[in-house]
């Protein structure tokens, strides 16, 4: 040891075989994200403190206790307070707005990989500098505007399925997906549920831990998150008696996401609706989710996320929805090691296929996911329920797609799809069930 100086508590030097495993996982994660049609983004490691207070929420553990903050230095003419990012969503949303991407490209799909910082009590699988890979879909039109229809719910399923794909390819064992709705900011949606929970939990208040007694008024959903046996017991009784009554939009979101995700999850991933799941951050609305895996002890989450339809507006942007996830790379590696899984191969960045939904149906989206799961780089428009074929083909050609797979009303009725060669222009109808084999054969 040099002069007794050690790495700070909760940080880790990475070298040797561990470095190689880490790098292989990063490559897998970005490879899958690209297969899914997402582009990379890197935002600064530190941001204005206000960004996190505003986005994550004042009454959260992160903002209350866990931020690494550098105070202002007014003597040096810098009156800003900076904070090392405790998570990456806030930075990505800030960048989306700062670069006017909501105006120039509307919907944006990003993935990121990098270090995050939380001043937690260090323990196994919980570092103060840890690494996350995540993805965000930003700019979903939540209500029809002029002749623009509202965005479908495909984006909410898309991020869950992409996360599942990475975890499954990483070789993790015992992968479980839990999901829930936390309601939204519309009057009578989350606020109604919150008041009912508050009243019911207050009745059993003396049985709750000190933190939870405080949470009833400050952030009642966090009580459901508490792992202490007494709190868990009170919450279970309350959840059994307080039905989730969310708005029509939140219900419709769940009615799409739940069956779609269950149908398309990679083999071996279990899925269940879990009303205890609320996730820690204030900004979530609608669907939230979490993945757990074997080999991590009692803190077995490897990642999660959810939709945050109010955050873009909250941060000064237009009324557009968003959704995303983050995976804890150290945790994924721990679970991977416990499963004795070999470092996975990242999908190769092959030719692009564009799947065009020319009819409002979940079928074209399912087809796109199946191509991606087979390692084929596939773009799919998450911003509209359906578009005209001409409009789709313009997009496909702009993206440099090699093939377009079109599903319109005719094709849907016949259980078929049209495969179009974007360079030569020839096209043919095939059975939808043969689409994967056909695409593979054509791409060679
Ligand atoms: Zn709602
Ligand atoms: Zn508690």
Fold of 353-443: Rossmann fold (3.40.50)
Write the pLDDT tens digit of every residue in 309-320. 989 999 999 999
Q: Which ligand is nearest to the CA of 213?
A: 2
Spatial CA neighbour of 333 closest among 25, 8, 17: 25
Write the pLDDT tens digit of every residue in 395-436. 999 999 999 999 999 999 999 999 999 999 999 999 999 999
Q: Which ligand is nearest to the CA of 201?
A: 2
Write the pLDDT tens digit of every residue in 89-102. 999 999 999 999 99
Q: Which ligand is nearest to the CA of 209?
A: 2
In this predicted structure, what is the pLDDT of residue 2?
Answer: 61
Residues, the chain: 444
Write the pLDDT tens digit of every residue in 334-372. 999 999 888 888 888 899 999 999 999 999 999 999 999
pLDDT class of 241 with cuts at 50, 70, 90: confident
Whether the pLDDT of residue 384 is over 70: the answer is yes
Say how many Å lie between the CA of residue 365 and the centre of ligand 1. 24
**DSSP one-letter code for 7:** P
Say how many Å lie between the CA of residue 56 and the centre of ligand 2. 21
Q: Which ligand is nearest to the CA of 220?
A: 2
Domain boundaries, the chain: 17-183+267-338, 190-241, 353-443
Segments of 229-310 assigned E as strands: 270-273, 285-292, 301-307
How far the first Cα of the chain sits from its last, in Å, is: 56
In this predicted structure, what is the pLDDT of residue 278?
Answer: 85
Torsion 269-275-280-284 (CA) sign: positive
Q: What residues pair up with 140 in beta bridges, in sequence order?
A: 321
Class of domain 17-183+267-338: alpha beta
pTM of this structure: 0.95
Determine contact, residues 370/434, Cβ cutoff 8 Å.
no
pLDDT class of 160 with cuts at 50, 70, 90: very high
CA atoms within 13 A on the CB side of 168: 19
Write the pLDDT tens digit of every residue in 42-62. 999 999 999 999 888 887 788
Arithmetic mean of pLDDT, 19-39: 96
- Contacts for 242 with CB less than 8 Å, ≥ 6 apart: 193, 196, 197, 200
| CA–CA dist 414, 410 (Å, integer) | 6
Determine contact, residues 378/368, Cβ cutoff 8 Å.
yes
- Count CB neighbours of 101 within 10 A: 17
Find where tokens 């070999």 sit.
342
């Amino acid at each position: 040891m040099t002069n007794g100086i050690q790495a700070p508590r909760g940080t880790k030097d990475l070298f040797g075989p561990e470095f190689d495993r880490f790098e292989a996982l990063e490559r897998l994660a970005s490879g899958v994200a690209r297969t899914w049609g997402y582009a990379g983004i890197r935002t600064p490691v530190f941001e204005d403190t206000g960004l996190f207070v505003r986005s994550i929420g004042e009454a959260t553990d992160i903002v209350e206790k866990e931020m690494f903050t550098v105070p202002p230095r007014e003597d040096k003419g810098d009156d800003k307070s900076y904070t090392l990012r405790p998570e990456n969503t806030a930075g990505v949303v800030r960048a989306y707005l700062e670069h006017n991407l909501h105006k120039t490209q509307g919907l944006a799909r990003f993935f990121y990989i990098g270090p995050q910082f939380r001043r937690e009590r260090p323990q196994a699988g919980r570092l103060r500098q840890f690494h996350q890979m995540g993805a965000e879909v930003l700019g979903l039109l939540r209500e029809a505007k002029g002749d623009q229809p509202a965005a479908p719910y495909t984006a909410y399923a898309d991020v869950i399925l992409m996360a599942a794909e990475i975890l499954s390819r990483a070789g993790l064992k015992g992968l479980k997906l839990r999901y829930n709705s936390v309601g939204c900011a519309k009057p009578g949606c989350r606020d109604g549920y919150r008041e009912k929970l508050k009243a019911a939990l207050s009745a059993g208040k003396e049985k709750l831990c000190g933190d939870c007694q405080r949470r009833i008024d400050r952030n009642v959903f966090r009580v459901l998150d508490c792992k202490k046996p007494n709190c868990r017991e009170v919450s279970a009784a309350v959840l059994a008696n307080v039905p989730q009554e969310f708005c029509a939009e939140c219900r419709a979101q769940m009615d799409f996401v739940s069956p779609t995700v269950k149908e398309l999850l990679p083999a071996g991933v279990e899925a269940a609706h879990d009303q205890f799941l609320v996730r820690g951050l204030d900004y979530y609305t609608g669907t939230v989710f979490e993945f757990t895996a074997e080999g991590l002890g009692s803190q077995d989450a490897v990642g999660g996320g959810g939709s945050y339809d109010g955050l873009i507006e909250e941060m000064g942007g237009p009324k557009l929805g968003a959704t995303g996830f983050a995976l804890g790379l150290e945790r994924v590696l721990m679970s991977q090691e416990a499963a004795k899984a070999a470092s996975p191969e990242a999908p190769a960045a092959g030719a692009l296929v564009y799947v065009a939904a020319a009819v409002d149906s979940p079928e074209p989206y399912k087809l796109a996911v199946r191509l991606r799961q087979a390692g084929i780089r596939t773009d799919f428009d998450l911003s509209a329920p359906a578009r005209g074929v001409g409009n789709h083909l313009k997009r496909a050609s702009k993206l440099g797609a090699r093939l377009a797979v079109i599903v319109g009303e005719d094709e849907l009725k016949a259980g078929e799809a049209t495969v179009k060669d974007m360079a030569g222009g020839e096209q043919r109808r095939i059975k939808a069930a043969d689409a994967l084999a056909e695409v593979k054969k054509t791409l060679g």
